[in-house]
Structure 1
């Protein structure tokens, strides 16, 4: 499985979040505490938005994150108010750049931790449900990227929670038709450059770990000596596969079978259920 982080808020150097914390994403690539694997060295990716472009920039590579000089260089010079970071531990597909997260389509960015069980058996049926206009844009061979393009086919730009619910429902229905008891395991982050949606769900009800940060004003009251908290806005939030450190009160577990939205004006947290009868895209 993988580890990931989504940041939204005051523009900061990527390295302040990806490299500097006690248990940063780079540390997790070697010493994950909550992942299925301790080491996540099958590639990495960073995606970020700027005010100058409508689409996110991507840096992805097949090597491990902990010794990549390009990642170190970018993280210490690029500033963004919305970015994703992902370290990969493959569940069977090839270690190649096109299989590294995040994935991008227009202004949309997507990353995933988890798996579609027995994916080789389900892949053809699921791929046939992708909008034919979108299908040529699929570059890699992962279940994660296919999930993204299914969500796009189901109307992600119009209603992300509904599109992801329809995608998850199709994966489960297809899996059950092939005799797979628990077809889906996922924590997903997706963004349009203004908002971030995060989902935590699994068919067996035992989803991979996912946490969101406490409101900044509450953290300032608890930890007035932490300089990073003084430099960011109250609207700044993070969603992470596992906490970036042991700061008391900083992290809250995302409830099982739920989704959240980080957006201007305040966040939203709600229940997530796959659509039990998704209609395949026309």
Structure 2
């Protein structure tokens, strides 16, 4: 499986969340504590938004994140208010750049930890469900990217939570027809550059780990000596597969079968149920 983080809030250097924390995402690429694999070395990717540009920038590579000098260089110079970062442990598809997360379409970004069970058996049927207008933009061979394009097909740009629910319903119904007992395992991050959605769901109701950060004003009261908390706005949030540090009170588990929305105004945490596509 994989590890990922999503950041939204005060513009910060990539370095601040990728390298500086005690158990940073880069450290997790070698020493994951909660993932299926301890080592996540089958590629990495970082995506971010720049001012006045709708489409996000992506940097992806097939090597391990812990030794990539270009990532280290970029991280100390790029600043953004919305950042996706992902380290990959392949579940069977090739280690190639087009299979590294995040995935992008227009202004949208998507990344995933988990798997479609027996993907090789149901891949063709799922691929045929992708809208022909979207199909040419699929670059890789992963279940993760195909899930993204199924969600786009099923109305992602108009109704992101509904489209992800319909995608999950389609994957499950297709898997069940092929005799797959538990077709889907996913934690997914999705953004349009303004809002951030994070989903935690699995057919077996035993989903991979996912956490969201406590409100900044609460953390400032708990930890007045932490400089980072004084530098970011009250609406800054992190969502992570695995906490990057041991700051007491900082992390909350995303409930099973639920999704959250980080957006201007009030954030939301809501139940998630697959829907018939």
Aligned to 2:241: 241
Aligned to 1:157: 157
In structure 1, what is the Cα distance between the partners aligned to 2:51 and 2:163? 27
Aligned to 1:59: 59
Aligned to 1:271: 271
In structure 1, what is the Cα distance between the partners aligned to 2:234 and 2:260? 17
* 1:182-241: CA deviation from partner (whole Å, max 9, x where unpaired): 000000000000010000000000000000000000000000000000000000000000
Query: SS in structure 2 opposite 1:38?
Result: coil
In structure 2, what is the Cα distance between the partners aligned to 1:181 and 1:126? 17
* 1:150-209: CA deviation from partner (whole Å, max 9, x where unpaired): 000001011100000000000000000000000000000000000100000000000000
For normalisation by structure 1, the TM-score amounts to 0.98
In structure 1, what is the Cα distance between the partners aligned to 2:25 and 2:244? 7
Cα offset, 1:52, TM superposition = 3.0
Aligned to 1:97: 97
Aligned to 2:131: 131
Aligned to 2:166: 166
In structure 1, what is the Cα distance between the partners aligned to 2:266 and 2:220? 18
Aligned to 1:213: 213
Aligned to 2:30: 30
In structure 2, what is the Cα distance between the partners aligned to 1:136 and 1:15? 34
Cα offset, 1:68, TM superposition = 0.2
Aligned to 1:80: 80
Cα offset, 1:53, TM superposition = 1.1
In structure 2, what is the Cα distance between the partners aligned to 1:146 and 1:81? 27
In structure 2, what is the Cα distance between the partners aligned to 1:144 and 1:192? 18
Query: SS in structure 1 opposite 2:89?
Result: coil
In structure 2, what is the Cα distance between the partners aligned to 1:265 and 1:75? 29
In structure 2, what is the Cα distance between the partners aligned to 1:52 and 1:59? 19
1:199 is the counterpart of 2:199: yes
Cα offset, 1:33, TM superposition = 0.3
| Structure 2 unaligned regions, length at least 5 | none
The farther-off stretch of 132-141 and 47-56 is: 47-56
In structure 2, what is the Cα distance between the partners aligned to 1:75 and 1:47? 11
* 1:11-70: CA deviation from partner (whole Å, max 9, x where unpaired): 000110111000100000000000000000000000000113110000000000001011
Aligned to 1:13: 13
In structure 2, what is the Cα distance between the partners aligned to 1:62 and 1:132? 28
Aligned to 1:257: 257
In structure 2, what is the Cα distance between the partners aligned to 1:72 and 1:159? 36
Does structure 2 conserve the Cα–Cα contact (< 8 Å) formed by 1:235 and 1:266?
no
In structure 1, what is the Cα distance between the partners aligned to 2:79 and 2:133? 34
